[in-house]
Amino acid sequence: MATDWLGSVVSINCGLTLGVYQGEVSSVDHASQTISLKQPYHNGVRCPLPEVTFSAMDIKELKFLDIQNTVSKPNSAQGATTESSFIPSGRHNQSNRLTQPHVTSSSSHSSTAPITILRRAPAGSSNSRGATQTAQKKNSVRNGGAGGLMRTKDDECFGGGTDENLDADFDFEGNLALFDKAAVFSQIDGTNSHSNRAQHPSIQGEQKPLSYRHDENILEVKPVVYRQITVPQHGGREYCTDSGLVVPSVPYEVHKRLLAAAERWGLSLERRLETIGVCSSQMALTLLGGPNRLTPKNVHQRPTVVLLCGPHIQGAQGISCGRHLANHEVEVIMFLPNFVKMQESVNNEVQLYSRTGSKQVASIKDLPASPVDLVINCLDCHENPLLREQTWYQSAADWANQNRAPVLSIDPAVSSQHQTVEAKWTLSLGLPLPLPETESRVYLCDIGIPKLVYQEVGIRYHSPFGCKFVIPLHTA
């Protein structure tokens, strides 16, 4: 029987790759056709593994050193008379079955039991894999010197448990076919009602709840009404916001009645000027670069803004804007003619502006000759269109057109003629006026008029501003 060879000391030659192993036979597996040695030696050096297993396919030659039940060292056994010899006669058939090997021995153990080694061990056998890895590590130490020793340490630290001798590539397609992606996603989306009912029998009669995406509103909403502002007298043009709300224009007469009604309810001119100054300065700061331009590290490159103001309410709105810009460390230069009669609101705004320490000029010659960062145009007046024919107005308009700086016009007058100052941006107040067709981008400013004040002049009003005080308008 194969168990009769247990305890024998043998020498197994596995060829040049694996080398020669000596040790005591610990087990012989008839089914897997393997033989195991305990306390093995590899090429005369003690193996770190307590036991190694060999397959019949890897054995080139097998010698019995001492057929005893006691373990003797391989080195001394090799020095003794090695008369027991076992040479595999070859792999006789398709199953690689080796039977009844011939053994000649002068040892006192006269009975010879046959060792039957069947098929080689499976490729995934951990014992045979360990023996192969150990043999490779020892060969690398002997052949590689110090470099081999370093590689051995790396393998011991990081290479344990890895299968380096895979006989077949991993079947990615077969593994992926095991994953039913459609079923998983249908279960996630809540469409697999059959599985839900099987898992929860109590809800078989209930209707499956709807599922929503992360960007969908779970509350039922009414259809959106985009025309939420209606006016008694249309100005002839319509605009729309970024969200699609329609904002109609109104004639200047309706706009004037709206401002008068607001003043009656307490929204005085001074409060309106302050609101317009804050909103227009915020828009101007954004046009100047906002947080990318106005930072403590950029004080040596302060933006320069030129205000072109007339002696009227529109000019007072521009002066209020300049005062807020100066408070935000913007270099402001205000042009205002001093040989014409000023309105009281203009004088009040000039006094506040002078407290900022910013520059004020009355002649076009004192304005910068080089381009500035922004020009704010407040020359036009709704009540007196004849100002355009005066010399100071034309000189200021010519300077603005020749400076090559972008222009922001605040509350420009309605005129069928071409705009005197070519503006890149136009800021309307409350509701837009029917401005002529230009390439200027129209913006709308919230000046704080309550909803019921709009209703007093016949305007059905719903705020289009949302979370902002200045919004862009697009031609409908």
- Could you report the per-residue pLDDT of 293-351, keeping only the tens digit for each? 888 888 778 899 999 999 999 999 999 999 999 999 999 999 999 877 788 899 999 99
**Closest to 269 in 3D by CA, of 280, 277, 259:** 259
pLDDT for the residue numbered 416: 60
pLDDT for the residue numbered 385: 82
Residue whose structure tokens are 């019921």: 452
pLDDT for the residue numbered 443: 97
What CA–CA distance (Å, rounded) separates 280 from 314?
12
* Residue positions counted in the chain: 476
Q: Which residue has the higher pLDDT, 94 or 213?
A: 213
Q: Which residue has the higher pLDDT, 175 or 89?
A: 175
Q: Which residue has the higher pLDDT, 406 or 7?
A: 406
User: Is residue 224's pLDDT more than 60?
Assistant: yes
CB 264 within 8 A of CB 272: no
User: Is residue 50's pLDDT more than 60?
Assistant: yes
Coil, helix or strand for 379? coil
pLDDT for the residue numbered 191: 56
For 330, the enclosing helix (H) or strand (E) is none
pLDDT for the residue numbered 462: 94
pLDDT band of residue 110 (cuts 50, 70, 90) is very low
What is the number of other CB atoms lying within 10 angstroms of the CB of residue 17?
A: 10
pLDDT for the residue numbered 300: 79
pLDDT for the residue numbered 376: 97
What CA–CA distance (Å, rounded) separates 416 from 256?
19
pLDDT for the residue numbered 54: 86
CB 58 within 8 A of CB 121: no
Residue whose structure tokens are 């009227």: 312
Structure confidence by residue, pLDDT tens digits, 250-289: 999 999 999 999 999 999 999 999 999 999 999 999 999 9
Q: Which residue has the higher pLDDT, 281 or 147?
A: 281
CB 238 within 8 A of CB 250: no
Which domains, and CATH codes, for the chain? 2-145 (2.30.30.100), 238-475 (3.40.50.10260)
- Judged by phi (left if over 0) then psi (alpha if -120 to 50, else beta), residue 57 lies in alpha
Any residues with CB less than 8 A from the CB of 27 and at least 6 apart, and which?
6, 35, 36
Lowest-pLDDT choice from 51-60, 310-319, 459-468 = 51-60
pLDDT for the residue numbered 366: 95
Maximum average pLDDT range among 119-123, 163-167, 411-415: 411-415
The whole-angstrom distance between residue 456's C-alpha and the CA centroid of its chain comes to 51
pLDDT band of residue 209 (cuts 50, 70, 90) is low
Reading the block at residue 215, the tokens are: 């960007």
Compute the average pLDDT of residues 134-139: 48
Q: Which residue has the higher pLDDT, 442 or 28?
A: 442
Structure confidence by residue, pLDDT tens digits, 57-90: 888 888 888 654 443 334 433 333 333 333 343 3
pLDDT band of residue 206 (cuts 50, 70, 90) is low
Radius of gyration of the chain (CA): 49
**Closest to 235 in 3D by CA, of 442, 405, 380:** 442
Helices (H), 247-390: 252-264, 269-287, 313-327, 344-354
User: Is residue 97's pLDDT more than 60?
Assistant: no
Reading the block at residue 39, the tokens are: 């306390």
What CA–CA distance (Å, rounded) separates 394 from 204?
83
pLDDT for the residue numbered 339: 73
User: Is residue 159's pLDDT more than 80?
Assistant: no
CB 148 within 8 A of CB 137: no
- Judged by phi (left if over 0) then psi (alpha if -120 to 50, else beta), residue 23 lies in left
Compute the average pLDDT of residues 30-58: 86
What CA–CA distance (Å, rounded) separates 409 from 380?
9
Adjacent-strand bridge partners of 85: 104
